[in-house]
A and B are shown apart, each in its own frame.
Chain A
Amino acid sequence: GNSVTQMEGPVTLSEEAFLTINCTYTATGYPSLFWYVQYPGEGLQLLLKATKADDKGSNKGFEATYRKETTSFHLEKGSVQVSDSAVYFCALNQAGTALIFGKGTTLSVSS
C-alpha cells in the first residue's frame, strides 16, 4: 500500500542554518505530495504542495521538489528562523481519499 517515510527527529539547528528534512514515499501512479507544519497545540497548516513529477512547491522560503525517479519530496530552507520551530509532516494523496502522513519531524531552532 501507499506509505510515507520521513526522517526522524528531532532536528536541532542554529538560526540561519540550512534545513533539509527527507521524505520518501511508496505509491502506485502519481500521487499529490504535501508538506504540512504544526505549531505547538495547533492543527496542521498546509506549507506547500506538488501535484506532478518535477513540480517544485514553495512557500515562506521553504521548497520541495517532486522527484519521481527517487520517490522523494525533501523539504529545504536556506536560512531557518526561531519561528520555524514546529513539527513538519510529509503526506501524499491519491485518488482523492484521505491523506497518508509520515510520522512527523520536530524542528527546533535556537538563536
Chain B
Amino acid sequence: DGGITQSPKYLFRKEGQNVTLSCEQNLNHDAMYWYRQDPGQGLRLIYYSQIVNDFQKGDIAEGYSVSREKKESFPLTVTSAQKNPTAFYLCASRSSGGSSYEQYFGPGTRLTVT
C-alpha cells in the first residue's frame, strides 16, 4: 500500500537533547513537508522540500533542521535550540503533477520533552 509513515508514534526526550523524527513515503511524490500542530493553533509549516537535496524554511523553522538526501525520506531534527518542542509533528507529501496541490499526511509523531 502506498502511503506516508512516521516513526515513532510517541517520543519522549529530556530537555537539551536533539531528536530526529522519521518520515518516509512510497508515493513517488516530489514535495515533502513538515508541520507542527499545537492545540487550538492549527498547523504551522516548519520546512518543506520540493526536490531532493533542496529544502526551504517555513514559518517556524528556528530550532529545527532537515535533510532530503533521498526522494522517499525527509527526516526532521528537533534541536536543543527549539524553545518549546513538545508538540504533534505531521509530515506530508505532494505530487508535482496536476494542479490541485493536495497534500497527503502521515499519522504523526507526538514529541514530549521534559
Contacts and interface: CB of A to CB of B under 8 A. Distances in A.
B75 interface: no
A21 B107 CA distance: 24
B27 to A, nearest CB: 13
A103 B42 contact: yes
Contacts of A44: 43, 90, 92, 105
Interface string B13-33: 000000000000000000101
Given A43-B90, A89-B43, A102-B42, A49 B48 contact: no
A5 B37 CA distance: 17
A19 to B, nearest CB: 20
Q: How big is the B interface, by class? A: 20 to 34
A32 B99 contact: yes
Contacts of B90: 43-44
Q: How big is the A interface, by class? A: 20 to 34
Interface string A7-40: 0000000000000000000000000101010000
B100 A45 contact: no
Contacts of A102: 42
Nearest to B101: A93
Contacts of B96: 96
Contacts of A99: 33, 43, 92, 101, 103
A36 B105 CA distance: 10
Interface in B68-114: 90, 92, 94, 96, 99-108, 110
